[in-house]
Each structure stands twice: as C-alpha cells, then as structure tokens.
Amino acid sequence: MRVLLVEDDEPIAESLTRGLGRYGFDVEWVRTGAGALEAGPTDLVLVDLGLPDMDGLDVCLELRARSDVPIIVISARADETDRVVGLEIGADDYVSKPFGVREVIARMRAVLRRVRPAAVQSEAKLSSRVVIDRPGRRVHVDGAEISLTPKEYDLLAFLAEAPEAVFTREQIMEAVWDANWFGPTKTLDVHVSALRQKLGDAVSVETVRGVGFRLVLT
C-alpha cells in the first residue's frame, strides 16, 4: 500500500518512513504542500499542518477537492479548533504529536476500514489459487474453502496485507494477538505450522531466521 507522507520535520519523517516500511507500507515523503499536490496517486495521505510553504489544512482541502483519498492529519497543533476544521474540510482523522508508529498504523487501518471497506475488506486474490474473503472471514484454496481457526485466519490476513514483506515476531504478536503482548511467541510458531499444513503449496509462509515471517506467493 502506497502512503504519501507530507512532513517537513526530517527526524519525524525518517522515523515514520522507517516504521511504516517495517509494516510493509511503501512511503513517498515530501516536505512541502506543493510537493504533496504534485505527487502521484496514493492510497492514503499523512499530512502535517505546519508546512513551510502553505498551511496543511489548505493541502487537505485541495486534496479532498481532487479525490476521496483517505487523509490523516499529523500535527503538534492539538487545539480543538484545528481538529474540528481539519475534519470538517475532509480529513478522516487527526493524530497529535508526539505519537508512536503503532498508533499511526492503527489509525490508518481504522480509517481504511471505515472509508474504503471495499478495498480493505473485500476479497483479496493472493494468487491464482488462494482467495481471502475478508467480510466472511473465509479462505479458499483452489476453489475449496479451508477450515481455519480465528487466529489462523487473522494471521494469514495480516501477512497478506503486504506479501513478500518481512514482519518481526513482535509485530505479528502485536497485530494478531494483543498490542501489549509481552509473553513468549511459541504460540506464533504453532499457528504458522498449522497454516502451512492447511495452505499446502498454494502459498508459502517463510521463516526469516532471527527476524520473523513473510508470506511468499508461489
């Protein structure tokens, strides 16, 4: 998924770019409002309000006039007026600085589920053999439904958000089990093993030694 990050603060932008990249997002970073308005198509926009060339609210307004792309404001301006104005002119959410990458990702996923349910929750054809029916929480392999436990489905759906991307054990446990998970990750190995057996050779869940796992299309 492509994300346009509009942020002139280099440390914040670099941190967000690295963090989102670890979760499989493809980030395009621009420092100005003009750069945002010149950027190509994207799946979601993160925009700061304090840009050097124009107010981020004006960027939101122009972007919304052009398309229905989801927009999340990220700003140190936590005043209620800015929040209200931002949402009224078309932003889908507002995150105040300082924030954590996991919070931003959670907000992004919530916005995408809300404003683009067809894109996020509809069938996802991973390959010619595997189809994920997100509304029905079902998976078909070679046209036949396979039986998955709730956590097996959640694990596959999470990995399928970014095929070929490597997710650490901690990222997977936080996303699939609990954001505050601090226990052993042996349960993850059990679920990966079960998925492998049920998916057969249709899709591969590869172990990246010392890091985590990735979904590889075969």
Q: Which tokens is 216 given? A: 């590889």
d(CA 24, CA 132): 18
Domain boundary at 117, 134, 152, which? 117
The model's pTM: 0.58
Q: Are residues 112 and 129 in the same domain?
A: no
Q: What is the CATH number of the domain that holds 18?
A: 3.40.50.2300
Residue 75 and residue 78: Cα distance in Å, rounded? 7
Cβ(79)–Cβ(36) below 8 Å: no
Comparing C-alpha atoms, which of 11, 60, 24, 10 is closest to residue 157? 24
pLDDT digits (tens, 9 = 90+) for 137-152: 899 999 999 999 999 9
78 plus 149 within the same structural domain: no
Gap between the Cα atoms of 170 and 217, Å rounded: 23
- 34 in the same domain as 48: yes
Q: Which of 68, 100, 117 is the last residue of a domain?
A: 117
| Same domain, yes or no: 34 and 62 | yes
Residue range of the domain that includes 151: 122-217
Structure token digits, residue 160: 């399928």
If one counts the domains in the chain, the total is 2
CB neighbours of 29 closer than 8 A, spacing ≥ 6?
A: 5, 7, 13, 17
Domain end (from 117, 143, 164):
117
CATH number for the domain harbouring residue 160: 1.10.10.10
| CA-CA-CA-CA dihedral for 70, 26, 177, 217, to nearest 10 | 120
Whether residue 170 has pLDDT greater than 70: yes
Do 208 and 170 sit in the same domain of this protein?
yes
Q: Are residues 135 and 90 in the same domain?
A: no
Same-domain pairing of 129 and 210: yes
**Pair (17, 102) in one structural domain:** yes
Lookup: tokens for 92: 């889908």
**Average pLDDT over all residues of the chain:** 85
Please give the share of the chain, as a percent, with pLDDT higher than 70: 88
Tell me the pLDDT band of 67, cut-offs 50, 70 and 90. very high
> What average pLDDT score do residues 35-48 get?
94
Q: Give 81-90 pLDDT, tens digit per residue.
A: 666 777 778 8
The reply to whether 69 and 98 lie within a common domain is yes
pLDDT-based confidence at residue 117 (cuts at 50, 70, 90): low
Same domain, 57 and 132: no
**Whether 63 contacts 35, CB under 8 Å:** no
Asked whether the beta carbons of 213 and 155 are under 8 A apart, the reply is no
* Same domain, residue pair 14 and 87: yes
Whether residue 18 sits in one domain with residue 104: yes
